[in-house]
């Protein structure tokens, strides 16, 4: 059996079905940790090709496995499918998720002959979400330890075999205080916004001294509700990359 040709033939014969899946996900953009439609659409495709599905690692995350029950490498494919707030699928995650599902399914066509296992990792919240990225959850759960190599493609304006990339950790920072009217009884309040601004400025000053290869991005998601009410809660989301 010419395994490589069989894979290429499967992709060629089914590519328009997967383009249609990609378009459907693009037309229904969902933010990180909210990818109900995208996750279900990709799961249904994998199930139709006899992948076993596990969904209990992180919200809307999927581990789809096809095992040949023969010795061989464990090949993983990373399927991202979340959108950006206000920008829809500007990073092409509808393409990434669908391409990884197609690649895994194509490899599944020959794995019974060559041995090994195919794993498609559904990766919600790649752009960051309330519970952080599912990839971090896979690392913490030891899922990545069992995979020999993990692959994905990312759309862009040039073609590379591979590039250096940054790992990201999502920090969800919340400050709690005590609210009060700003002009009547401010002395009774504990200002959560003052604490957040001090923290945020500290991070900003730190960024000047980190390595050139490192990044810290942040945004204040909740800084209070009204100017004349001292906030008792503030919330910031940080992406730390290395």
Query: What are the domain boundaries of the chain?
Result: 3-151, 168-241
* pTM given for the model: 0.82
Task: Report yes or no: 29 and 87 within 8 Å, Cβ to Cβ.
Answer: no
SS3 75: strand
Task: Report yes or no: 179 and 189 within 8 Å, Cβ to Cβ.
Answer: yes
pLDDT digits (tens, 9 = 90+) for 122-162: 999 887 666 567 787 888 889 999 999 999 999 988 888 88
User: 168-241: which CATH number, 3.40.1160.10, 3.40.1190.20, 1.10.287.1400, 3.30.70.360?
Assistant: 3.30.70.360
Complete edge-to-edge strand list for the sheet that includes strand 149-151 = 52-54, 62-67, 117-123, 74-80, 149-151
Complete edge-to-edge strand list for the sheet that includes strand 215-222 = 168-176, 233-241, 215-222
pLDDT in tens, the chain (242 residues): 799 999 999 999 999 999 999 999 999 999 988 999 999 999 999 999 999 999 877 778 889 999 999 999 999 999 999 999 899 999 999 999 999 999 999 999 999 999 999 999 999 988 766 656 778 788 888 999 999 999 999 998 888 888 888 887 788 899 999 999 999 999 999 999 999 999 999 999 998 899 988 999 999 999 999 999 999 999 998 988 88
CATH architecture, domain 3-151:
3-Layer(aba) Sandwich (3.40)
CA distance 48 to 37: 17
Residue count of the chain: 242
């Amino acid at each position: 059996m010419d395994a490589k040709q069989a894979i290429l033939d499967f992709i060629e014969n089914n590519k328009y079905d997967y383009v249609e899946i990609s378009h459907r996900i693009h037309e229904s953009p969902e933010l990180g940790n909210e990818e109900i439609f995208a996750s279900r659409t990709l799961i249904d495709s994998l199930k139709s090709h006899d992948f076993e599905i596990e969904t209990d690692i992180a919200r809307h995350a999927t581990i789809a496995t096809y095992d040949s029950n023969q010795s061989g490498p464990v090949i993983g494919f990373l399927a991202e499918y979340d959108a950006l707030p206000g920008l829809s699928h500007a990073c092409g995650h509808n393409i990434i998720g669908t391409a990884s599902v197609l690649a895994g399914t194509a490899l599944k066509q020959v794995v019974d002959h060559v041995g090994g296992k195919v794993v498609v990792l559904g990766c919600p919240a790649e752009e960051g979400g309330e519970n952080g990225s599912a990839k971090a959850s896979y690392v913490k759960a030891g899922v990545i330890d069992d995979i020999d190599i993990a692959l994905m493609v990312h759309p862009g304006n040039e073609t590379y075999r591979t590039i250096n990339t940054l790992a990201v950790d999502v920090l969800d920072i919340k400050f709690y205080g005590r609210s009060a009217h700003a002009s009547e009884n401010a002395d009774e309040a504990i200002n959560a916004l003052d604490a957040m601004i001090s923290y945020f400025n500290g991070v900003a000053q730190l960024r000047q001294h980190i390595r050139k290869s490192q990044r810290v991005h942040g945004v204040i998601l909740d800084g209070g509700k009204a100017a004349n009410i001292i906030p008792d809660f503030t919330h910031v989301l940080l992406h730390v990359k290395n």
